[in-house]
A = this chain, B = another copy of it.
Amino acid sequence: MALLSVLTPFLVVGLCLVIGFMLLRPRETEATSPTSSAGAPQADHRPWVDQDLQDDTEDKGNEDEDGDPVDSNEEEEQHLQVPYSASRYPKESMLERSKDFYTLMNRRRTIRFISPEPVPREVIDNAILTAGTAPSGAHTEPWTFVVVSDPETKHQIRRIVEKEEEVNYLQRMGDKWVKDLSKLRTNWIKEYLDVAPYLILVFKQIHGILPNGNKLTHYYNEISVSISCGLLLAALQNVGLVTVTSTPLNCGPQLRLILKRPANEKLLMLLPVGYPACDATVPELKRKPLDDILVHI
C-alpha cells in the first residue's frame, strides 16, 4: 500500500503523458489535413516552393513550359534541342499588329445573352487547340476541355449550377437580398446554360498518373490552365463568339461526376459559348487606363 502511495505520482505522470500524447496526435492530423486535401506533398517537404505561390489544392513546383528548369531537367535532357525560327515583322507592322490585336481583344465582354444559333464545331475545336498551346509547368499540359452540346446534359448542368447558386446567394447575401427576390432571380437563373450551343467545362488535372500507377506532379496546374483559358478567350473573341467566364461555386464535384471525369480533375471554369443574342446588353464598365496597370522602371 505504501509502495502504491509512493508510486502514485509516477503512475499519474505516466497517465498524463499518455493522455497528452493522445490529445496531440489528432491535432497534428487536423493541422496537416487542410494542406494535404488533394494528396499534395506538404509545404515543408518542398522547401523550394515560393511562399507567395503555395496553394493547398494542388501540387506545385516551378512553372515552365518546356520541361525545363528548376525541377524538371530530367525531362529536358530527353529532348533534342532544335533551332527555333520565328516570324519577324518590321517595326511599323509590329506596331500595327499590336494595336489591332488590342482593339480586337478590347471589344471582348462577358455576354450573358447568348443566341441558340448553331456554331460550326470545327471553330470550337480550333479554339481548344489554341488553348492547348499554352505553356504549362514542366510541359505537363494539365487540362481537359469538356465540350457539351447534348441538350440533356446541358440541362443537367444548369440544374446543378442554379441549385448551388441559389444557396450561394441566400447564404451570402442574407435578408437584404432575400427581400428583393426578383433582382436575385436574374442572377441565379442561368438560361444561357440551356441556350448556348456549347458549354465548355475546363478541368485542371491536379496530378497525372504514371503507367506504374504513381502520381505525376502537375506543377502550377491552376496557373497553367488559367493561362490556357486566356488563350481560349482570345480564340473565341477572334471569331466573334462570346462567353461568360464563370467558376460555378460548389458545383465542381457534381459536375465532374455527371461528366464522368476522373478524381484527379477539378473543374476550374465553365464557359457557355455561342454568338451573342441580337438584343445582348452589357453593364457600362470601363477598364483601367494604362497608367493604372503599368509601372515602368
Contacts and interface: CB of A to CB of B under 8 A. Distances in A.
Contacts of A24: 23-24, 27
Sorted nearest first, the 8 A-B pairs with minimum C-beta distance are A230-B230, A16-B16, A226-B226, A31-B31, A98-B126, A79-B283, A52-B252, A65-B110
A179 to B, nearest CB: 13
B238 A97 contact: yes
A89 B239 contact: yes
B87 A107 contact: yes
Q: Which of A68, A131, A141, A153 has the largest count of B CB atoms less than 10 A from its CB?
A: A68
A160 interface: no
A273 interface: no
Interface residues of A, number: 155
Contact of A86 (B67, B110, B128, B276): B276
A202 B23 CA distance: 45
A285 B8 contact: no
Given A34-B35, A128-B290, A84 B111 contact: yes
B220 A222 contact: no
A183 B77 CA distance: 10
Interface string A264-287: 001111000001100111111101
Nearest to A73: B187
A250 B95 CA distance: 36
B129 A102 contact: yes
A139 interface: yes
Given A34-B35, A223-B226, A297 B147 contact: yes
A56 B55 CA distance: 6
Interface string A5-46: 100110011001101100110011011001101000001000
